Structure 1
Amino acid sequence: MNDVIQNEQELFDELEAICKSPGYLHAIAYFCFRDNTIRYKDGEMVVDDVIQQFSFERLVRTEISTLIGLACKEQLDITHPGPKCIQEYIDKTESILESLHKTMMPPLEEIFDKRKLGDPIFNPFRTGKALRESIFYGGEAAYSFQYRDLALIKYKNDSDWFQRNKGYSIEDAEKIVSSLLLLQNDKVSDLMPTQLKALSSEEWTMLPAFVFSDKELSEKSGVDIETTKSFLGSFVCPPEIDRNQFSALDDFNPMNAYPIIRVGESEFILFQNYGLLEALYETPFFWFNADDTYKVKARENRGLFTERFSEERLKIVFGEDRVFTNINIYKDKQTRVGEIDVLVVFANRAIVLQAKSKKLTIAARKGNDNSLQEDFKKAVQDAYNQAYQCAEYLNDESYRLVDCFGNELKIYRNFESIYPFCVVSDHYPALSFQARQFLTYQATKVIKNPFIMDVFLLDVMTEMLQSPLHFLSYVNRRVEYAERILSNHELTILSYHLKQNLWIDSDISMIQLGDDICADLDLAMLTRRNGAPGIETPEGILTKYKDTTYGQLIAEIDRLDDPATIDLGFMLLSLSGETIEKINDGINQLCELHKADGKHHDLTLGVDQGKTGLTIHFNGDKANVAGPRLKNHCEKRKYALKADTWFGLCLDPVSRKIKFGLELKFDWVQSDEMDQATKYLPKPQSFKNGGRVVFSTIRRNGKKIGRNDPCPCGSQKKYKKCCLI
């Protein structure tokens, strides 16, 4: 054993010794209160209250779970040891944990092997030594209430097994865990101003906030006492499990699977409500596996859960008629070459989702290189390979798409972009980081970089981005920036997007996002799913322009489901706040001009340093007149600015609703004819001092356009029969 591992083991043994000290549970109670409780005042929770959870002084849940597991390796002693002793426990524990954290980060000379630095395929972060720290300290991939809510769905088809073998249904379990959270919140709230005030400082402890009886819980939940006892008993560590097997930091900790501590015939301790909710979601897997008569059925249900859950969540965004499941792909009548678990089709975009139900093994958590890569292959790489292959077939109309009922799927097949999704059903530690190191993938012009996620991230994305355009726009940029964003959590990146609109300039090679950025999203999800008294939507892209003309355009493009406008929607969602304000202002001014004179008016803006642009026409003309006019105008604008793409919109000047749209996307080629046609084309609208759009009289060579002159919009008509009307 090398020196680093030996040092780590010595620290672990030292930590175990202090955790077994008399009354150590009072120190654990302090850590749980300090680090797992969000405190707020005035009846409202705000982002600053949530940011407390990102303090570097805070112990992460895996650290506290380690303390609990070590303390429970032998008979518990809950005697109050006195405040001085508790403080010594706290100080000593924090010191050891800090040292332990340092030992899990191997020296740079071990990661960066000098002999391999010249090898272009050498990746120092693919080793188990480099990944152990991320796996242990990476934090939570799921919110606690997600474990509760998703367990109800995950085990819906297993509820009879729970009733027969455990004495409660999954619905009973959900009621009990929800009520236990409320009960412990009440106890924490009562303890601070009431109970502690009645005690001398020598007797102060937070432990009573985590102690409860089965009777209390039964009354709180409304579930009968016998059923409540059955539930509690199933999450108390069974005597046949050897708790001493937890002898190193990465070993299986029985208290993670069985987090309820029995301290009397009817009294219990639960230090981390999160741990119980995670156990409710994870531990039944091991119960089922031990039942030879049921484990095959349980695995079937587990696989179906990931697919069905993904399907239902995506339907919230895209609707029933755009989401398909279990689509078989046939090369000919007999030869099936692939199966798509979930397929989403929106305009000329598609999502190909492959679901997997694989866990990270104990050997992998310990940093075994072979186990890490083998687990990743089964959980992610295989799913991606399937998704990519199916994406190739999807855009080839020689392959038939057939649903599970044998009906051929007749859908749009000329996709502009296909996004491979790989979704795992369980918490897979450091999933994004591992994907960055291990995933072998390729991308084409159509098939984009993969998006690797668990069901919890998909749940949050579909909760917060409940419009096809917003959802796909985020996905498009997230996968495009796959190698240019560093973050411990995918939720942090999503939170940043909701606040700031995810965008990385081409001259920036990498950005790193701090964990505390996630506080806005955390608060929104706590409010939506757990009834916290806070705001439901972070202030940002979903709120700022919702009731503006720009917001109306985005909503309309969503409803149109039209390939001609979906790219325009992507472009609009990528704009800066300043540009959005200018569009709103310009449209408002043009509407006022139309009210005053009833004539055609237009707005042209160059975007992304002239690489693309937008022309908006306002008129009440019929499509056979307005359509060619807009197309000609956009062609000339695109040519004049040598743009890669150009978008056109025709709006009704009264309702401001979209009449139609178009996209021009082709390479710029010099043309004498177009040079002549654009010679006198006015410049796009300008912005006065970075503020309002400036509209001026259209002039050519200093002369006002005559009624019989060619219209400058490029329609080839006389001005009096076109924009002068």
Structure 2
Amino acid sequence: MNRNEILSKIDELSKCKNFLEILGLLVAKNINGKVKDIGYEDYKRLLSYKEISHLSGFYLKNRNNKSNTELDTESTADQIHKLMDSLHFTFFSNDEKSFDPSKIEREMLLHETIFYSGGDAHDFQFVELARYKYQNDRGWIKKHKGFDIYNAYDNYMVIRSLMDFIMNIRHQHANPSNVLTLNKDNPIFKRNPDIKQLIEAFAIQENEVVNEFFFNIGDYNEFLVRPIFIIDNYYVILMPYQLAEAVFNNPFYWMNKDKIYSSKALKNRGGMAENMVFQMLTEKYGDRYIFKNVLLKKNSTTTISDIDILMLFEEIAVIFQVKSKRLTENSKKGDLKSIKIDFEKAIKAAHKQALTCKEAIRKKEYNSNSSKNLPDLKNVKEVYSICLLLDEYPGKTSHVRIIMEGEPDKPIVISAFDLDIILRHLPTKVDFTKYLIFRYKNRDRLVAASERAFLGGYLFNGDEINNNINDRPIILDEDHSQYFDRLMFGKHLAENRSKFLEALKDIERNDRCFCESGLKYKKCCMQNFDGRLSP
């Protein structure tokens, strides 16, 4: 089957009466697993959240035109999983039978990595960093969407904790497909009406028509914008992760549609990325020897370039060039010309600017008196640079390797989410610079799909890699990345237990139980809930 035939088959299956139940089973098997299994799954055989999101797009397209046919849930879920596996092969050949690994062209991987590469961010990072991103738009979001962006993290973590509790502790009350379904009258909303407002802002109404023209990979998908369904008196939350991502991405587009506020939103966005990165670095390492908006000048009339963020440590200078450019819709659809243009604007432009600044610092070509915000660099002997992207840029690591193959000075490209993980695991500037030197030294040898895999390789195998004098590529698979999934999720589960318990305070004995068992609170979780969110 070719790609069009596979997608047409899935489109047809999604019209069945019980497709939401089938979709929920796929989510349970591939995405919303048990806490104890995080980081231990065979991720190569699982469907990704992007694949599930595409299937959810078909559900939204056809939910108001369902047939009366009810399919076997288990076997149809397996059939769709196999169809999605076959779909992956179409990125390399017309159909699975003609697939020949030896004939894969490198440029084929550019589109494949956009859709199939793992995400840069954990869910909590989206909602946590949204506070930085929209700190100047807090009033507009509260007025027009009803929730406070500063409280979005706490409220999201209550939703996530509730799902973890239902799935891991009270799973016998969860519906068979393990989809989180919350009654609009759930007592947890009594103390926390802002949680309900957050959900409503990202919910699709029951009879709303969306995704009419949805079909192919990269087509506009309303599920990515509003990933919550309203059915009868219930909120259906297939993947909390997608809600977190929407909190990070959507407000800017909402504000951009407001003709009165859009100019202010654009103004707030200008410089926001640099300020956000500066804040992240200074909160971790202090503001001494970290500078922003540095202007390098040759003399009073000639500008060399500007540095977004400059961090100094002993004889080392680290340049951060920050961009907020995202992939365009044409790139997501696989248009190679658009992919390369986006790469040029987001990554190559930042890298070129960084190289210009590095060269000027190394050769002492700048004029200290004419330059702006420039610290004393006379003792600097080594200069490194990082191209940092504010938003997720799927496949960026692979794109650097493919598009810039053969170039002598490839950039280190990370996202704000990568930086957040790096700062959490490298507590001092010494640790940070050691890792950066490791990345530079091995950038032509190490192959990985994500920065987390690079970091995992460094933390667990750094000495072995540095001592390996063989020039052959060293592949760091996503097993290295899974360590962070396991560690970070467990850490945040423990940290957010108190937020969850606080949200339960005002539930009364005769209220329906928050776990959606259908029983009264006094006959359910009030008797045996000990605060655990996982076994």
TM-score normalised by L of structure 2: 0.84
Match of 1:259 in 2: 227
Match of 1:510 in 2: 473
Aligned pairs (5 A) from 1:206-605: 206-207=177-178, 209-216=179-186, 218-219=188-189, 222-224=191-193, 227-237=194-204, 242-264=210-232, 266-316=233-283, 318-401=285-368, 409-439=374-404, 449-501=410-462, 503-504=465-466, 505-531=468-494
Corresponding position: 1:205 with 2:176:
yes
How far does residue 441 in structure 1 lie from its aligned partner after superposition? Answer: 9.4
Separation (CA, whole Å) in 1 of partners of 2:91 and 2:407:
33
8 Å Cα contact 2:110/2:336 also seen in 1:
no
Q: Which stretch of structure 1 is more off in the superposition, 462-471 or 50-59?
A: 50-59
8 Å Cα contact 2:304/2:366 also seen in 1:
no
Separation (CA, whole Å) in 2 of partners of 1:26 and 1:532:
32
Distance 1:24 1:77, change over 3 A: farther
Deviations 1:296-315 (A, max 9, x none): 33233334332122222323
8 Å Cα contact 1:167/1:230 also seen in 2:
yes
How far does residue 248 in structure 1 lie from its aligned partner after superposition? Answer: 1.1
How far does residue 410 in structure 1 lie from its aligned partner after superposition? Answer: 4.0
Match of 2:49 in 1: 61
Q: What SS does the aligned partner of 1:420 have?
A: strand
Deviations 1:121-146 (A, max 9, x none): xx942x3x332221111111111110
Identity of aligned residues (%): 24
Deviations 1:8-49 (A, max 9, x none): 011101011112211121122222222223435xxxx5xxx3
How far does residue 76 in structure 1 lie from its aligned partner after superposition? Answer: 5.8
Q: Which stretch of structure 1 is more off in the superposition, 101-110 or 356-365?
A: 101-110
Match of 2:515 in 1: none
Q: What SS does the aligned partner of 2:299 have?
A: coil
How far does residue 68 in structure 1 lie from its aligned partner after superposition? Answer: 1.2
Q: What SS does the aligned partner of 1:284 have?
A: helix
Distance 1:228 1:319, change over 3 A: closer
Match of 1:569 in 2: none
How far does residue 518 in structure 1 lie from its aligned partner after superposition? Answer: 2.0
Separation (CA, whole Å) in 2 of partners of 1:66 and 1:187:
25
8 Å Cα contact 1:325/1:343 also seen in 2:
yes
Match of 2:504 in 1: none
Separation (CA, whole Å) in 2 of partners of 1:387 and 1:466:
25
Separation (CA, whole Å) in 1 of partners of 2:142 and 2:304:
41
Aligned pairs (5 A) from 1:96-135: 96-106=83-93, 124-125=105-106, 127=107, 129-135=108-114
Report how many residues are paired.
491
Distance 1:174 1:470, change over 3 A: closer
Choose from 78, 81, 91 the match for 1:91: 78
Amino acid at match of 1:51: G
Distance 1:384 1:524, change over 3 A: same
Separation (CA, whole Å) in 2 of partners of 1:64 and 1:176:
24
8 Å Cα contact 1:12/1:249 also seen in 2:
no
Distance 1:371 1:378, change over 3 A: same
Q: What SS does the aligned partner of 1:374 have?
A: helix
8 Å Cα contact 2:161/2:493 also seen in 1:
no
Choose from 160, 163, 169 the match for 1:184: 163
What is the RMSD computed on CA atoms of the aligned residues? 3.1
8 Å Cα contact 2:180/2:237 also seen in 1:
yes
Match of 1:635 in 2: none
Separation (CA, whole Å) in 1 of partners of 2:410 and 2:63:
53
Separation (CA, whole Å) in 2 of partners of 1:101 and 1:182:
33
Separation (CA, whole Å) in 2 of partners of 1:262 and 1:165:
20
Match of 2:511 in 1: none
**Larger-gyration structure (1/2):** 1
Q: What SS does the aligned partner of 1:156 have?
A: coil
Match of 2:521 in 1: none
Separation (CA, whole Å) in 1 of partners of 2:218 and 2:396:
17
Separation (CA, whole Å) in 2 of partners of 1:76 and 1:185:
30
How far does residue 183 in structure 1 lie from its aligned partner after superposition? Answer: 1.7
How far does residue 256 in structure 1 lie from its aligned partner after superposition? Answer: 0.9
Corresponding position: 1:26 with 2:49:
no
Deviations 1:394-430 (A, max 9, x none): 2344413579xx8663413343221111111111110
Separation (CA, whole Å) in 1 of partners of 2:68 and 2:173:
16
How far does residue 111 in structure 1 lie from its aligned partner after superposition? Answer: 9.7
Greater RCO structure (CA 8 Å; 6+ sep): 2
Match of 2:173 in 1: 195
Separation (CA, whole Å) in 1 of partners of 2:490 and 2:176:
30
Flag structure 1 segments of 5+ consecutive residues without an equivalent.
114-122, 197-203, 534-725
How far does residue 162 in structure 1 lie from its aligned partner after superposition? Answer: 0.5
8 Å Cα contact 1:381/1:440 also seen in 2:
no
